[in-house]
C-alpha cells in the first residue's frame, strides 16, 4: 500500500471534475492530510481501523470525474485513492458474470471482456476514466441503461468495508437478490461513499451482440423529439442507448475546431442484436423519427457520434471547467422542462448547451452544462445557483436533480420526505458510529470546523447565488470563438 503526504500530490485530490475557487477553503478543508493507495481489501480494513483510532475522516475516491465534490474532503483527513485496486479477479464465461476490484475503469474492463467475446451492458459515458466503484457510489445512469438497466440493476454482489472495518458481502455472485431480506446491493448504490467502501464487485455481463449499429437523426429543436420518444417507448423496440445534444453543443464543438457535422440538434441511438433484429429496429425508428420531420443523417455521422460518446465535455478547452447540472424528468414533462431550462439560462445570463440521454421508458436525463472560471469567485459560485434552480425545476415537474454531494445535501428531504431523510440519516449513523466515512456529504453539508450548515440556509444560499448571477454581466467564455464561427 502506497502512502503520500506530498503537498503537490495532495493538492491534486482537493477537487473533482468541477474545480472549486480557493476561497472555498475558508469553509471546507478540501486538501487531504494524507493520500493512501490500497491494493487489497485488507489494506482498506487497516486504513479504516487507523481512521477510527486517530479520529480522522476518510474519503474514498475513484477517478474524481463526478462533479458534486463527493470525493473531495470537507475537513481533510485521509483520501483513499481506489484506482490502485484495479484487478480483474475472474471472468466467468459460463455464468456471464465478472468479478473485479472497484478501481478498474469501465474501458479497461470493456476491453478485457471484448477479448473474450463478452460485452458490458451498461457503463457511464465517462468510461475512459471513471471507476466501477465511483459509478456504483453515485448510482449513475449511462450508456446501455435504456435497454439493459442501470449500474445497480447489473450488480450481483459487492464486498464492502463498512466504516467499522467489518467486511460484508451484499448479494450472491451467480443469481440476483430476490427476496431473503432487503436488497443490500441497493443500500450502497448511490450512497456516495458515505456508508462503506466498495472493494470488490460482481457484475452481470452479456455475450457480444452480432451487431451494434449507431443511427443519427437531426432536428431543429430538442422539443421536436418528445412526441417521437413517446412513440418509441411504446413501440416495442429498445435501442441500447439514446443520446441527444442541442445546436449550441455542436456549435461549441465546431468552435474548438472539432470535426462536427452541421446538424442542428442531433439524436443518436445505438441498436444491438442480430443483424435481422437491428434491421427491423432501424426501420421502426426511421418511421417514428420521420413522423416528426427528423432527417436521417449518414452512417458516417452516426458512427462519428457514437465514437464521441465519451467526450461530451470537449468544450472544456474553452474554459476552466464545464459544470453540469444533471436532472431526471419524466418524458411526459420533457418539453416543459426544456422550455423552463431555456428561460433559466436566459435569466441567469448564461450560455449553456444541453445534452442528455434517455434513462428508461419514462425518464429522460438532461444535462445542461456551462463553462465557469474557478479563479473568479463570484461568477463561478454564483453559477452554482443555476444547478440549484434547475433542480427545483425538475422537482416541480415530477423529477429530481441527480446527486447530493457537498452542496445539495439539503435536497435529501425533498427526495425522500422528512421521515425518509431521517431514516437515511439513522442508517448512516448506525453504519458509521464514529462519523469517519466521508463526513459532511449526502446527509449534511459539513464544514472544516466540524459544524454542519443547516439545510434551509444552504438551500437559501444556493438560491441567492442564482440571484447574484442575474445581476452579473453575461458570461463571456467561448463567445469570441462562437462569433468567429458565425462569420
Ligand X SMILES: Cc1cc2nc3c(=O)[nH]c(=O)nc-3n(C[C@H](O)[C@H](O)[C@H](O)COP(=O)(O)OP(=O)(O)OC[C@H]3O[C@@H](n4cnc5c(N)ncnc54)[C@H](O)[C@@H]3O)c2cc1C
The least distance separating ligand X from the CB of residue 120, rounded to whole angstroms, comes to: 13
Out of 77, 140, 152, 401, which residue is the one contacting ligand X (CB under 6 A)?
140
Q: Could you say whether residue 321 binds ligand X (CB under 6 A)? A: no
Q: Does 325 bind ligand X (CB under 6 A)?
A: no
Q: Rule CB under 6 A: say whether 363 interacts with ligand X.
A: no
Binding residue for ligand X, selected from 57, 142, 340, 401, defined by CB under 6 A: 142
Closest CA to 93 of 213, 6, 192, 204: 204
- 79 binding ligand X? (CB under 6 A): no
* Cα gap 418→206, rounded to integer Å: 40
* Per CB under 6 A, 192 contacts ligand X: yes
- Residue 88-127 contact track with ligand X, rule CB under 6 A, x = bound: --------------x---------------------xxx-
Answer for which of 18, 48, 109, 137 binds ligand X (CB under 6 A) is: 137
The answer to whether residue 446 forms part of the interface with ligand X (CB under 6 A) is no
Say whether residue 313 binds ligand X (CB under 6 A).
yes
Taking CB under 6 A as the rule, does residue 198 contact ligand X?
Answer: yes
Three cell numbers at 406? 457537498
Cβ contacts of 5 within 8 Å, gap of 6 or more: 33, 34
How many chain residues touch ligand X (CB under 6 A)?
Answer: 34
State in angstroms the smallest separation of the CB of 207 from ligand X.
23
Is residue 138 a contact point for ligand X (CB under 6 A)?
yes
323 counts as binding ligand X under rule CB under 6 A: no
Q: Is 131 in the site for ligand X (CB under 6 A)?
A: yes
- Write the CB contacts of 234 (distance below 8 Å, at least 6 apart in sequence): none
For ligand X, give the closer residue by CB, 288 or 357: 357
C-alpha cell at 313: 465535455
Least spacing, CB of residue 150 vs ligand X, in Å: 8
Q: Whole-number minimum distance, CB 6 to ligand X, in Å?
A: 20
Which of 19, 32, 57, 70 is in the footprint of ligand X by CB under 6 A?
Answer: 70
- Whichever of 16 and 392 has its CB closer to ligand X, that residue is 16
Contact 293, 228 (CB under 8 A): no
Q: From CA 3, how far away is CA 80, in angstroms rounded?
A: 9
Contacts of 343 (CB under 8 A, 6+ apart): none
Is 31 or 288 the residue whose CB approaches ligand X more closely? 31
Q: Smallest gap, in angstroms, from Cβ of residue 424 to ligand X?
A: 15
User: To the nearest whole angstrom, how small is the minimum distance from the Cβ of residue 144 to ligand X?
Assistant: 10
Compute, in degrees rounded to 10, the torsion defined by CA atoms 201, 86, 111, 137: 50
Judged by CB under 6 A, which stretch of 131-139, 177-185, 422-430, 461-469 contacts ligand X? 131-139
How many residues can be counted in the chain? 487
User: Residue 391 interacts with ligand X (CB under 6 A)?
Assistant: no
Question: Shortest gap between Cβ of 425 and ligand X (angstroms)?
Answer: 17
CA–CA distance, 412 with 426 (Å, rounded to integer): 13
With CB under 6 A as the contact rule, the residue among 30, 34, 65, 445 that binds ligand X is 65
Shorter beta-carbon distance to ligand X: residue 382 or 404: 404
Interface residues with ligand X (CB under 6 A)? Answer: 16-17, 59-66, 70-71, 82, 102, 124-126, 130-131, 133-135, 137-138, 140-142, 192-193, 197-198, 312-313, 438
Amino acid at each position: 500500500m502506497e502512502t503520500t503526504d506530498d503537498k503537490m500530490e495532495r493538492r491534486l485530490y482537493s477537487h473533482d471534475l468541477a474545480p472549486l475557487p480557493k476561497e472555498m477553503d475558508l469553509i471546507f478543508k478540501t486538501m487531504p492530510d494524507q493520500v493512501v493507495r490500497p491494493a487489497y481489501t485488507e489494506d482498506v480494513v487497516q486504513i479504516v481501523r487507523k481512521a477510527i483510532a486517530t479520529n480522522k475522516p476518510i474519503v474514498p475516491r475513484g477517478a474524481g470525474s463526478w462533479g458534486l465534490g463527493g470525493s473531495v474532503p470537507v475537513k481533510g483527513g485521509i483520501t483513499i485513492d481506489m484506482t490502485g485496486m484495479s484487478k480483474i479477479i475472474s471472468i466467468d464465461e459460463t455464468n456471464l458474470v465478472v468479478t473485479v476490484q472497484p478501481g478498474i475503469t469501465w474501458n479497461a474492463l470493456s476491453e478485457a471482456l471484448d477479448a473474450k467475446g463478452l460485452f458490458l451492458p451498461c457503463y457511464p459515458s465517462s468510461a475512459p476514466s471513471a471507476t466501477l466503484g465511483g459509478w456504483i457510489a453515485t448510482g449513475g445512469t449511462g450508456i446501455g441503461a435504456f435497454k439493459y438497466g442501470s449500474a445497480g440493476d447489473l450488480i450481483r454482489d459487492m464486498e464492502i468495508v463498512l466504516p467499522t472495518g467489518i467486511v460484508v458481502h451484499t448479494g450472491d455472485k451467480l443469481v440476483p437478490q430476490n427476496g431473503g431480506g432487503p436488497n443490500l446491493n441497493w443500500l450502497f448504490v448511490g450512497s456516495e461513499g458515505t456508508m462503506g467502501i466498495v472493494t470488490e464487485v460482481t457484475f452481470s455481463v452479456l455475450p457480444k451482440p452480432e451487431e451494434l449499429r449507431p443511427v443519427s437523426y437531426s432536428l431543429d429543436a430538442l422539443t421536436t423529439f418528445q412526441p417521437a420518444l413517446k412513440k418509441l417507448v411504446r413501440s416495442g423496440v429498445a435501442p441500447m442507448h439514446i443520446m441527444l445534444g442541442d445546436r449550441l453543443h455542436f456549435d461549441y464543438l465546431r468552435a474548438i475546431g472539432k470535426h462536427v457535422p452541421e446538424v442542428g440538434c442531433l439524436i443518436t441511438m445505438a441498436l444491438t442484436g442480430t443483424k435481422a433484429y437491428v434491421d427491423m429496429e432501424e426501420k421502426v425508428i426511421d418511421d417514428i423519427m420521420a413522423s416528426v420531420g427528423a432527417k436521417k443523417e449518414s452512417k458516417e455521422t452516426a458512427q462519428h457520434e457514437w465514437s464521441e460518446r465519451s467526450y461530451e465535455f470537449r468544450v472544456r478547452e474553452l474554459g476552466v471547467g464545464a459544470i453540469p447540472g444533471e436532472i431526471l424528468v419524466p418524458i411526459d414533462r420533457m418539453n416543459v422542462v426544456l422550455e423552463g431550462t431555456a428561460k433559466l439560462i436566459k435569466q441567469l445570463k448564461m450560455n449553456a448547451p444541453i445534452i442528455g440521454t434517455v434513462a428508461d421508458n419514462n425518464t429522460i436525463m438532461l444535462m445542461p452544462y456551462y463553462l465557469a472560471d474557478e479563479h473568479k469567485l463570484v461568477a463561478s459560485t454564483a453559477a452554482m445557483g443555476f444547478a440549484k434552480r434547475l433542480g427545483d425545476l425538475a422537482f416541480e415537474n415530477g423529477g429530481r436533480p441527480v446527486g447530493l454531494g457537498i452542496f445539495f445535501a439539503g435536497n435529501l428531504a425533498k427526495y425522500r420526505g422528512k421521515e425518509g431523510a431521517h431514516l437515511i440519516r439513522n442508517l448512516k449513523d448506525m453504519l458509521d458510529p464514529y462519523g469517519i466515512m466521508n463526513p459532511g456529504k449526502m446527509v449534511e453539508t459539513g464544514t472544516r470546523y466540524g459544524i454542519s450548515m443547516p439545510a434551509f440556509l444552504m438551500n437559501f444560499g444556493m438560491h441567492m447565488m442564482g440571484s447574484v448571477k442575474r445581476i452579473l454581466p453575461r458570461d463571456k467564455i467561448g463567445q469570441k470563438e462562437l462569433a468567429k464561427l458565425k462569420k
